[in-house]
Amino acid sequence: MTPDALSLAGKVAIVTGSGRENGIGAAIAIALSRNGAAVVINYVSESSEARAAGVAKTIQAAGGQAIVVKASVSTPEGANHLVQETLKRFKTDHIDILGKPMGVSLNNAGAGLVGSTLETTKEGIDLTFGVNVYGTIFLVQAVVPHMPRGGRIINISSVASKLGLDFLPIYGASKAALDSLSYTWAKEFGRSRGITVNSVAPGPVDTDIARAADPAGAGGNLLVGMTRAEERVGKTEDIADVVLLLASEKSRWITGQFVSASGGITGQ
């Protein structure tokens, strides 16, 4: 008897914010590719261009298919550009998997992302919701018309949406909005189109963005003290493997869920 496998052969996946080799997005792209999906590596800033190319080369060197597309999904035009480039360059008419780990970097304290509500600027609110909420909506609007039955939308949330962290009020609120959209979309796109939608919520994960945002490790140490699986921060591979499961056929009866990929920091 042949053992079951999480095969994604013949699937096309877009993974936003996957242009940093040690980031969650890159780990997700590599995991999906390793299991057979053709993957789009997406990045936004010029500073990530070489790193995004490096992620694609890593996938290609292992025998996978990957292309690189620069696009900001914080506008409808950017989201549509990403989708159209995917269809054109992979010569396909379908996109099967949408993984959206890209979010506002927490190290942008100058925009009011880290700090109390009373200190938060309009710039910070616009930036946070523009990427985490508006960007997700725009991308879903662009992708879903090209997504067949059995499609998967996997939004990367955060345990901050449930914990009420007083140093991340706006960021946590934007992720809570994302959780609500995921639950609603599960019904909106599930019954009519056969698409599953879930949110995956990491706790602290060891990436260069996380280290820059919290150089003293205070926030990470606080949350590590709440883990149950092990006393450590998460690895990008920990999150990628959860996404891989949700992207596979084995997850066909899992939808509308908040999946805490945090080592047990929160289960709801």
Q: How many CA atoms lie within 13 A of 264 on its CB side?
A: 8
pLDDT at 48 over 70: yes
CA distance 37 to 19: 17
Active-site residue, selected from the candidate residues 33, 158, 174, 182: 158
Domains of the chain, start order = 12-260 (3.40.50.720)
pTM equals 0.93
Position 223 confidence tier, pLDDT thresholds 50, 70, 90: confident
Question: Bigger pLDDT: 6 or 115?
Answer: 6
Whole-number pLDDT of residue 214: 59
Active-site residue, selected from the candidate residues 171, 174, 182, 262: 171
Active-site residue, selected from the candidate residues 175, 182, 199, 262: 175
Q: Is 175 a catalytic residue?
A: yes
Position 108 confidence tier, pLDDT thresholds 50, 70, 90: very low
Q: Is 91 a catalytic residue?
A: no
Contact 163, 179 (CB under 8 A): no
Select from 234, 233, 226, 246 the least CA-distant residue to 97.
Answer: 246
Position 113 confidence tier, pLDDT thresholds 50, 70, 90: low
Q: What would the two tokens of residue 238 be?
A: 């920990």
Mean model confidence pLDDT for the chain: 90
Q: Is 158 a catalytic residue?
A: yes
pLDDT at 110 over 70: no
Residue 184: CB atoms within 10 Å: 12
pLDDT digits (tens, 9 = 90+) for 154-178: 999 999 999 999 989 999 999 999 9
Cα dist. 221→87, 203, 226 in Å?
43, 11, 9
Q: Is 157 a catalytic residue?
A: yes
Active-site residue, selected from the candidate residues 33, 157, 251, 260: 157
